[in-house]
Amino acid sequence: MSHRCLSLCVALLASVMCKLAMAQAASPFAGARFTQVIGGGGVPLNVVDKGDPAKPAVLFIHGFRQSYLSWTLQFGSDLASRCRLVAFDLRGHGNSGHPWQSEAYDNAKPWADDVASVIQALGLRKPLIVAWSFGGNVAMDFASLQPAVPVAGYLLTGTAAGTLAVPPPPANAPPRPAASPDLALNIGALDASMKLLFPSPAMDPALRAQFAAAAMRVGPWVDQAVARRARSAATLPAQPAVFATGGKDPLVGPATVARLKDFFPQARFVDFADAGHAVFIDEPARFNALIDEIQCQRP
């Protein structure tokens, strides 16, 4: 290799490394701590932790076929200056373990044990549990089966919160990605699924692409095992519960919200009239302010 060619290669490598460093510095997760926690049944859980450990803690639980990246607009906000923000990939999702056994997914216990394991391993003191979609079922699994673990309360969004096994899909719902062993069918269903969950044209295309990639990391055995759950371990938690509901949510509509109000009569309901299934994406500033009010400003 000539000296000139070698110099060009070195310059190109330096340019790539510089761009990578700039991208990492600009990441909403810059400065965050990544760790692995052993969850229920020994399943490794990928955990991200940002902010002062002495501050009030917020534990985020994402929805089905997603990952900790769901909370990008929360970790990228100034919440981390007032709260300790923690999120993890559910079992079978993201960079957490992907066991094949049906019993790793088809009942409440492993999901509840995972939440308790993260709280214990990171030493979270009375965290606020923020849960989205299927994550709301997981939160209620935890509330029912791990009542001795102290938490400050629950902020639930886009979820039936365990009162239904899975919210009934709308009549025109597209096929679900990852539900079939035929990968081509899953890929074909992905675009329609993303448009249903994240319809806003103003959404960052890079963020939507990350969510699509996360959806494809979930194997069909996870989908099939979760579908066999009769319903989650819905319970009335002793701690305060707040529901952030999207007025344009295609999955959790007025009938499900009415059911939630009957089941959780003491809960507070905050309506985001123009938001869809992902309130925290559609109206992040207002959603973050709600977290701030409930937990970050707590003495």
> Which of the listed ranges 32-41, 172-181, 185-194 does the model predict with the highest average pLDDT?
32-41
178 contacts: CB under 8 Å, gap ≥ 6: 65, 186, 215, 216, 218, 219, 220, 222, 223
Which DSSP symbol is given to 111? H
For the domain with range 29-296, which CATH number is right: 3.40.50.1390, 3.40.50.1820, 3.30.465.10, 3.40.50.620?
3.40.50.1820
Q: What's the pLDDT score for residue 185?
A: 83
- If you search the block for the tokens 């993303």, which residue do you land on? 194
| pLDDT average, residue stretch 271-275 | 97
Q: What's the pLDDT score for residue 202?
A: 86
Q: Is the pLDDT of residue 189 over 70?
A: yes
- Per-residue pLDDT of 14-28, as tens digits, reads 443 333 333 344 789
Nearest to 214 by CA among 106, 23, 69, 75: 69
Question: What pTM, to 2 d.p., does this model score?
Answer: 0.88
Q: Where are the domains of the chain?
A: 29-296
pLDDT-based confidence at residue 231 (cuts at 50, 70, 90): low
Share of the chain above pLDDT 70, in %: 85
- If you search the block for the tokens 């534990």, which residue do you land on? 59
Nearest to 47 by CA among 91, 107, 110: 91
- Per-residue pLDDT of 74-91, as tens digits, reads 999 999 999 999 999 999
Q: Is the pLDDT of residue 2 over 80?
A: no
Q: Is the pLDDT of residue 60 over 90?
A: yes
* Range name among 109-118, 127-136, 211-220 with the lowest pLDDT average: 211-220
